Amino acid sequence: MPEKNRFAAVVLLLTLSVIWGTSFILIKQGLKVFSPDEVGALRVATAFLFLMPVSLQRVKEIQRPDYWKIFLSGMLAVFIPAFLFASAQTHLNSSLAGILNTQSPIWTMIIGAAFFSQRFRGWAIFGAIISLAGCIVLAMARPGSVWGGFNSWSLLIVLACACYGLNLNFIKFKVTGVDPMTLISVSLLFIAPLAYIYLFGFTEVVNKLSSTPGAWSAFGFVAILALMSTAVANLLFYKLLRISSPFFTSSVTYVMPIVSVMWGVIDGEVLLLGHLTGMVLILGGVFLANQK
């Protein structure tokens, strides 16, 4: 990698880590006023507004037979995870949600092997087992002891990571010849109507914005989440992927939880020995799975 690209790659990596690592504390702030489903729908609807000019221009590049593929990608990469993370964080600290999210590369590997004929051996398989064991340890951590009752809400984040893994394999093997920015923006165009129908037909968002103290502040946090984590971050991610290696790009997985934990501690969250043990196991497993 040229020296100029190396410096730019490091800057992009750190920026991405801060943006994605901050996502979880922003969800937490939105949940102070809005319900989980409202936060999820607001996130999707607002992200579409930011990318609407791009999506309306680039939808012409999509062939009609690929419409359903782009829609499915949007559901897996944005819509479903937005609801799952918000729901999970009603019973999980933001720092723990950030740690659990680092399993995405593991699920990309598992789903690739199970459904897309990808082969993984040795360290990759061992790393996947270690990472999943870390998830169990983290979900069972309780005050006063490393082990306690299993927090089933953590499974929602595991499911979100599985959605990310399925989407990455799906677009790699089933969606070819589509520019990444076109894929992101047009998928938002296709899934946004669902978010708007749900927002205005089945939630109290409008009433809350007009009558609930702090509602506009909470909406501001969700808007920042939508702009930075969905629109800006994806642009930076694909820029990073173009100027560096996939392995270097995956390093964001290791830096991001540091940011989420930092925000959690600032907000008064407490990390236990079990949480730290689970984090080490998850990140160690992801590192092993990324070995060539």
> What pLDDT digit, counting tens, does each position of 55-100 carry?
999 999 998 889 999 999 999 989 999 999 999 999 999 988 998 8
Compute CA distances 275 → 129, 138, 223, whole Å.
Answer: 18, 5, 29
| 108, pLDDT greater than 60 | yes
Strands (E), the chain: none
- pLDDT reading at 110 higher than 70: yes
Reported pTM: 0.88
Average of per-residue pLDDT across 247-252: 68
Helix (H, G, I), strand (E, B) or coil at 291: coil
Q: What pLDDT does residue 146 have?
A: 47
- How far is CA 274 from its chain centroid? 23
CA 253 vs. chain centroid, Å, equals 11
Q: Are 106 and 128 in contact (CB under 8 A)?
A: yes
Distances (CA, A) of 190 to 153, 162, 167, 174, 195: 29, 21, 16, 18, 10
Read off the DSSP letter of residue 142.
Answer: B
* pLDDT over 70, % of the chain: 91
Higher pLDDT, 35 or 133: 35
Domain that holds residue 17: 3-289
Query: How big is the CA angle at 153 (ends 26 and 220), to the nearest 5 degrees?
Result: 15
pLDDT at residue number 143: 59
Q: Is the pLDDT of residue 2 over 80?
A: no
Asked if residue 30 has pLDDT above 70, the reply is: yes
**Domains: count for the chain:** 1
